[in-house]
Amino acid sequence: MNLETLRHSTAHVMAHAVKSIWPNVKIAIGPAISDGFYYDFDKKEPFLPEDLKKIKEKMRQIIKEDHKFVKKDISKKEALELFHDEIYKQELISEIPEDMVSTYTDGNFTDLCKGPHLASTGKIKAFKLLSIAGAYWRGSEENPMLQRIYGTAFSSQKELDDYLKLLEEAKKRDHRKLGKELEFFIVDEQAGAGLIIYQPKGALLRTIIEDWEKKEHLKRGYELVASPHILRSDIWVRSGHYEFYKEHMYIFNMEDEEYAVKPMNCPAHMIVYKSKTRSYRDLPLRLFELGSVYRHEKSGVLHGLLRVRGFTQDDAHIFCLPGQLQDEIETVIDFVIDAMGIFGFDEYAVELSTRPKESIGTDQDWKDATSALEASLKNKKISYEVNEGDGAFYGPKIDIKLKDAIGRFWQCATIQCDFALPERFDLAYVDQDGKKKRPVMIHRVILGSMERFIGSLIEHYAGALPLWLSPVQAIVIPITDKQHKYAAKINDILAKAGLRTRVDNRKETMGYKIREAQTQKVPYMVIIGQKEEDKEKIAIRSRISGDEGQASIDKFIDRLNKEIEEKA
């Protein structure tokens, strides 16, 4: 059974049920989505959780009655008469370019829909209504706020049960919940929606990742640059962002000049390229920046660290000769795959996104850019899906989505091939024949948004980060006040060995301190009692295996250093 057809049919039945219970409710749209379906309704009073039970029971009745889904093609005029009291359907009908539209009817309910649907309502075997949310009609804040009911459907009850278990596991791993419990970050309305404030442990985690990034980029031939957070609007006009991306930009005036907070780092990197004459011998030139950017995302799509308004990208731009293009793309792909493995992501999915309707550049440039990306993927023997029309406005792109511990995919790495912006900024190099020629530009991120990547790490590991990433790698816990001095000595030795540790000498029970260290996902506890002090040893308790007995401090340090080096 086709899942999309099943879910679209279930959304239809949900709309039927809602209209049966609340005849005055106006219906909008109800598509199938990647993991289920939704339907948007215009209802004066808010849906309550108990209303979902009423809707579910009515749906079960409609399914039991096994109404056939009957398709009928009618003229737009007939459709406008049929849906005369449905303002959202009327708007949709008026925008359909064809003279005829299709409807589907089951029992006494008819919906505007191009289908397809199942043969009958009785074919729906397993479904679940999940949640209620607000959604602007057609995604615009200028339109009415509707109520959206989400649900999902599967071909069997077992598949549904498995999916619901996955949802429960996802709730446990929710980075917003864990980020608060582990004191990693804060999202505070006083600061502004979608703007992240890192707490000490979160800032340390971010620093660990950024330090690793800088080291890896320098090792791979990149040069570090840094650019301001604001640039004059003229540069954004030249790049095309002002035309194609303005609604996502923060723009302001100062001393009779217009500026924009940067949503991208590329214009500044092109200024670096143009700062002196470049020879073909200088290329490829790889410029890297951990650049903070700001984009105006609608409030309804903001989601913890995963969708924010201010974030930092591990952004780089590679300027190369046309003949170097494919090798550079393949080198970036290798970098991404290496990085994913180091952070514990062994599986990924790849998409190749092609030219969107709104874009710049010539047809030939787009063809050459797309061919280079495609040839690189084929040469690396990487399977991919084509995502038609979803490229950047200046070039096609490869998106690499990493798969986490419970099977979800996260967008991180992107590789974009760009002939258009080097043309707009008149970038050039002097070739071996003495003539000026145009370089090709690759835009790329490896981990992507630092915020999104940290969010994905938290959920992938359920907060229990590997030792090399853990902000606190070990907690030293003295059993009594008598061991405070020895505990401080041990902590000092660990700290001088480069380990991130702290002492918990609060007047709490040992059980409480151990439970809290477990809750905080600390990899190791170093227990200090009188026996340990007398023998000048430590007792080790692991987050994974529990009590491990006594060991020398040197042996413990060697063990942790090996684990950190292996990034286990």
Active site residues: 266, 295, 313, 315, 317, 397, 443
- The pair of three-digit structure tokens given for residue 254, joined into one six-digit string: 């100062």
Q: What residue type is 20 in one-letter code?
A: S
Cα distance between residue 33 and residue 17, in whole Å:
20
Cα distance between residue 330 and residue 180, in whole Å:
39
Q: Where are the beta strands (DSSP E) in 181-328?
A: 185-186, 197-198, 223-224, 230-232, 250-254, 257-261, 285-294, 310-320
What Å distances lie between residue 311 and 193, 196, 216, 287, 343, CA to CA?
13, 8, 21, 19, 20
- The pair of three-digit structure tokens given for residue 269, joined into one six-digit string: 């990197």
Give the number of other Cβ atoms within 10 Å of residue 552's Cβ: 12
Cβ atoms of residues 464 and 520 within 8 Å: no
Q: Element (H or E) spanning 484, and its range?
A: helix 484-496
Angle in degrees, 0-180, between the axes of helices 363-379 and 325-342, rounded to the nearest 10: 50
Cα distance between residue 355 and residue 367, in whole Å:
9
- The pair of three-digit structure tokens given for residue 100, joined into one six-digit string: 């005829």
Report helix, strand or coil for 431.
Answer: coil
Report helix, strand or coil for 259.
Answer: strand
Of 455, 462, 338, 357, the residue nearest 400 (C-alpha):
338
> Residue 154 pairs with which residues in a beta bridge?
126
Helical residues (DSSP H) of 221-362, grouped into ranges: 233-239, 241-244, 266-273, 325-342
What is the CB-side half-sphere exposure of residue 339 using CA atoms within 13 A?
A: 27
Q: Element (H or E) spanning 210, and its range?
A: helix 200-219
DSSP state of 25: P
Q: Which residue has the tokens 């459907």?
A: 153
Specify the pairing of strand 100-106 against strand 197-198: unpaired
